[in-house]
Structure 1
Amino acid sequence: MAIFRGLIGQDGGPDLKRNRFDFVKQYFGHPMCNVGVIDKQYPEWCTEKLTIDEHLNYKFVMALEGNDVASNLKWVMSSNSIAVMPKPTCETWFMEGTLRPNYHYIEIRPDFADLEERLNYYISHPDEAENIVQHAHEYVAQFRNARREQLISLLVLKKYFDFIERRLAVL
């Protein structure tokens, strides 16, 4: 089964996370999914919030973008579960745009129509699923070097301040 818990925002409101709303509407109660929201305004979909450990009892964890990136993506990729998601559209320090579909995560269509097919494929091909877990671990490993990350952040700041300095010189 795949699991999803999260906020989807007020229907029709500015905080609505349309992709999450559509996913929950389509897959709540589906036999291959444990789907629920923690928004109280959706009593028909509202379920208990689960801990990360409880999520990790599932092989497949939905990683759906909300206001920006899927906030659970980093811990899912650090686990023995597999992130399932459409191709990322937002980018952070984690460089989501460099993730390779069906190599670092299971890619599904943005309308989620192929979710069941994709889950069944990896259930039937456990070696390929395990490869995705290993590739995800390798990807996450590059961020575990604290010294390197600090150096990169300082270089980014230097580049930013150099840019500002050049802009101010023009003024």
Structure 2
Amino acid sequence: MSRMIMNLKGLGALSIPRVFFNMQLISKLNALKKLKNDEILHIKNRLNYYNKINDFFELKKIENVEHSKLGENLLKNTSYSFDFYKVSKYFHKDLKINKFFYDCSSEFLNTITKSRPIDSKNVILKLDSRRHFCFLNDKNDFKDKVDLAVFRGACVQQNRIDFINKFKDCKRLNLGNVNKENRSGYLSKEEQLKYKFIISLEGWDVATNLKWIMSSNSIAITPRLKYETWFMEGKLIPNEHFLLIQDDFSDILDVMDNALTNDKLVKNIIKNQNEYIQQFLNPNIEELLGILVLAKYFYYSNQMKLDNFVIELFDGI
């Protein structure tokens, strides 16, 4: 979806009186009653992963964090705000939140963010989804791809700069620093899928490309993951969902060599990564989860009451 279409859809949703969506909240939550036990368990596990709040708290202002009502600042940082509105529109406009709608590499308690350090307690929602949740239909088998690794990304962070400098002359790695000032080395996602390995390096927070790599028949190569989003990167298992390399990248060629001679490893990773993607493909479940993340937030901040069948999903009860 282009940014223009995203903005038009977002503005269209904002033009509908909020009370229309508020009236639908009960029916949205009642959808839980129609789900199977395994679906309920899946939702419960993800809900409490995204929102780890399990005690009542007083919502206070936090330094560097926006403290506002749901009905305020609806057009601020639009890619985040439009995604937020998709689920927050079902709640009353006067409910208050703490939110940080930018790349986030710090812990902010009781605050809604797109990303967080793994094992921290920021409340995660599916934000900036146009950029981050892009899945591909890869028709090329791993065996038919080029025996090389590719990387394209904006290299302004030190870890990415170090990587490019270290391997700029390596013939087995097709590397490119692609930013607003330098587009000459640009490769589309489809062109990168011609390679067996695609290098994924975190930036200000998560690596945007990890999600679409895992929807393909190529394999991601990455150092230890430090950050996570709605994709639950903290649940990914090294050498089962991606190939792990050292933080200094020193073993990347050895890791590639091992994978190229280990069919079992390759097939297992591709199978696992493609299966992992499946849980994010049901739009109804994705919306319901977003609503529940907020409902739990408002419940524990003493701003709304909920029926017991919803409260029973919360870990702290």
TM range (shorter): 0.7 to 0.9
Show the counterpart of 2:161: 21
Matches within 5 A, 1:2-13: 2-9=149-156
Matches within 5 A, 1:15-164: 17-39=157-179, 47-164=184-301
Q: What per-residue deviation string (whole Å, max 9, x for no partner) do you get for residues 41-71 of structure 1?
A: 7x8xx84211000010001000110111010
> Equivalents in 1 of 2:170, 2:265: separation in Å?
24
Structure 2 residue matching 1:4: 3-state secondary structure = strand
Show the counterpart of 1:12: none
> Equivalents in 1 of 2:261, 2:220: separation in Å?
17
Tell me how far 1:33 sits from its aligned partner: 0.4
Show the counterpart of 1:169: none
Structure 2 residue matching 1:160: 3-state secondary structure = helix
TM-score where L is the length of structure 2? 0.47
> Equivalents in 2 of 1:119, 1:7: separation in Å?
23
Q: Which runs of 4+ in 1 moved over 4 A?
A: none
Structure 2: stretches of 5+ with no match in the other structure: 1-147, 304-317
Do the aligned partners of 1:29 and 1:35 also contact (CA within 8 Å) in 2? no
TM-score where L is the length of structure 1? 0.86
Code of the residue aligned with 1:159 in structure 2: it is K
Code of the residue aligned with 2:176 in structure 1: it is G
Structure 2 residue matching 1:26: 3-state secondary structure = helix
> Equivalents in 1 of 2:302, 2:241: separation in Å?
39
Aligned-CA RMSD value: 1.6
> Equivalents in 2 of 1:112, 1:56: separation in Å?
22
Structure 1 residue matching 2:195: 3-state secondary structure = coil
Larger Rg: 2
Code of the residue aligned with 2:150 in structure 1: it is I
Structure 2 residue matching 1:59: 3-state secondary structure = strand
Structure 1 residue matching 2:152: 3-state secondary structure = strand
Change (3 A) 1:119 1:67: same
> Equivalents in 2 of 1:126, 1:62: separation in Å?
19
Q: Identity, % of aligned pairs?
A: 42
Number of aligned residue pairs: 156
Tell me how far 1:127 sits from its aligned partner: 2.9
Structure 1: stretches of 5+ with no match in the other structure: 10-16, 167-171
> Equivalents in 1 of 2:229, 2:261: separation in Å?
33
Tell me how far 1:164 sits from its aligned partner: 2.8
